Structure 1
């Protein structure tokens, strides 16, 4: 027996401490380690660099709606695998894994409630559910949210976060672009506001459809917003793109957004906008 083994065996046994895996969060923006409780209390925004982390529907509803004022709307039922698609995995297996990890049926969840006392229907895309990709489920949920808003004479607010159309549904996913556009037209015909809040990232077919058709276009700071990726564009036009291209602040400077709002101010901003856009119509 070596001297190291003798010393090790002579020491009193200390059981390994059991700790949670989520005590710390590494910020993607500044790479600093943040105590997870501090991070969540700051609305999943880095207190050091201000990087806005990605959050799901439940956290978003808690942050946006008045306390205990909202109810989640049922998720529309659609065909899970209309094309019987398979790559390295079956599409049905990918859907099951996404549902197990997020606890949601699909990538877009709606809720109805009040923001600063004013009625609103809010839809939130969850990037954790297959990259927030737009398929039959997302299209159906968007239409349901818009029609619920019409029924309640309330605005429809959508928080976008997506990598684009869902490739496993092929042409059926692309058909959701005109489908959601028609739903927005129904909102406008009813005289109701449609407000878009773009979060990181919003790209592809979502950007090419309902993400850019709002009466008011808002974004969180630093959000990636675009259609194609930066490298694809550079290879196509054979030019170097400006620094910060496709980020919220750049798009605000070039007229594609109306405002960039920090997460802590979103609830108040949305409540004020709804008041401006809805109360005059109600009075008329």
Structure 2
């Protein structure tokens, strides 16, 4: 099942993508894709619906983030060994956990805004975990019981601010528009193995990143269990799980960063694609 939210920013309605690719309006069934709707019982109720009985949404509306009501956007850093190598950093012995400001969250095709003063804005295609039920100190064996599904994410990053401005990654990760997620939430029953998903990212049609979640150092079960030891996870919370190699700061012979007017296209098998235009602030 593919769940989504469509409409203008701040006014999104809940929806479902049917097998023909048509958006079906869920606003008569649930108020939003949030809270208890993401629980096993809530998802079971939606899965039992006949999509053809729901109103079809005309045209190609803007898609917002596929969930709302999250308390946290969390990220795992350097979770692919080859990306750690291109960044010149050691392979972590346990997950590197940092936060991304909730204000960074945006729709999958919204513009990515290069902030004023930025010279090193970069891209990162990532698998996002979307939490369905509260997780606090859960075991790896029970971790997936708390996952509603998965989505594509672009962990846009300002590398100077992340790495050269005082040692905290957050200030280079939380700018407005630095967290596109979507186009939809794909429930975990459609992706029984989240550790076997090819992924890619193009800039202006040139392939920059090619990878697979199979090469993650810490997998989905480990990440959910690990994070829940330190931070209680709530329905709708999103975890960005790291990126494969091919980011701009790792390019040889010299780093390459985003400029206004460029476009990004990125996707993960089974989860859909994003398309973003890069604009100046």
Q: TM-score, length-normalised on structure 2?
A: 0.24
Determine which structure has the larger strand proportion and give its number.
2
Determine which structure has the larger helix proportion and give its number.
1
Q: Which has the higher contact order (CA 8 A, sep 6+)?
A: 2
- Which protein has the larger Cα radius of gyration, Structure 1 or Structure 2? 1
